[in-house]
Amino acid sequence: MHGDILLIAETLISKAEGNFIDLESLTPSDEAIELAEKCGKDAKLVESILQASNEVVKVGPDFIITETTHGFVCANAGIDELNVDDNLATPMPDNPDKSANEIREILEDKYSTELAIIITDTQGRAFRVGAIGTAIGCSGITPLWRRVGDTDLYGRELETTEIATADELAAAASLIMGQANEGIPVVLLRGFDSFDLLRDTESDISKLLRQKKFDAFRD
């Protein structure tokens, strides 16, 4: 149906694309061994995290915050050991935007309608407890809704307001997908009133990535 939004868990995309990490095949570097001692993780898993990262941002008990090769700042480079066979892990898809775009084009051609695809991941947040659904790829909808120039209920003009629409939709879908054995990797969202306003087949998730020079919270 026109305006439908399919939200797909990144693990499903990685598995469908054959994107697995064989942890047993990795030889930990000296850096991986040192970080493993600091955080308490297996050195081979740490090596996989380093290989998927541009830089290490912070290390703590049982976590390594990195900037991934995609540009996301998150725990353990988004590498997941859940819902996969022993000694395997699933990294983030190589190119979540490309994956989302390919799926959208196939479905739009098949059903002759306009829709959007959002690839979701579960991530933690600075200064907040608990993980939420986050968008790591999208197609067919802009992930960032710039509301500057709109007015509030009292007629005041908004000067800086930007809404991370894709993240908010991903968080809503995550409640249904679950985090354990629910087995629901895809959620269909229907009736989003702002779909036509935010329709964009050229946009990608990069709009949600804060430039490092504007990141006041990174050392």
pLDDT in tens, 49-87: 999 999 999 998 889 999 999 999 999 999 988 878 888
Q: Are 11 and 182 in contact (CB under 8 A)?
A: no
- CA dist., res. 119 & res. 124, Å (int): 16
Query: Would you say the CATH fold of 20-92 matches that of 1-17+93-219?
Result: no
Decide if domain 20-92 falls under CATH 3.90.1660.10. Answer: yes
Would you state the pLDDT for residue 80?
Answer: 87
HEC string of the chain? CCCCEEEEEHHHHHHHCCCCEEHHHCCCCHHHHHHHHHHCCCHHHHHHHHHCEEEEEEEECCEEEEEECCCCEEEHHHCECCCCCCCEEECCCCCHHHHHHHHHHHHHHHHCCCCEEEEEEEEEECCEEEEEEEEEEEEEECCCEECCCCECCCCCECCCCEECHHHHHHHHHHHHHCCCCCCCCEEEECCCCCHHHHEECCCCHHHHCCCHHHCCCCC
Would you state the pLDDT for residue 216?
Answer: 82
- What ranges do the domains of the chain cover? 1-17+93-219, 20-92
> Global pTM?
0.92
CATH of span 1-17+93-219: 3.30.1330.100
Q: What angle do CA 157, 163, 165 make, to 5 degrees?
A: 145
Question: Is the pLDDT score of 125 beyond 90?
Answer: no
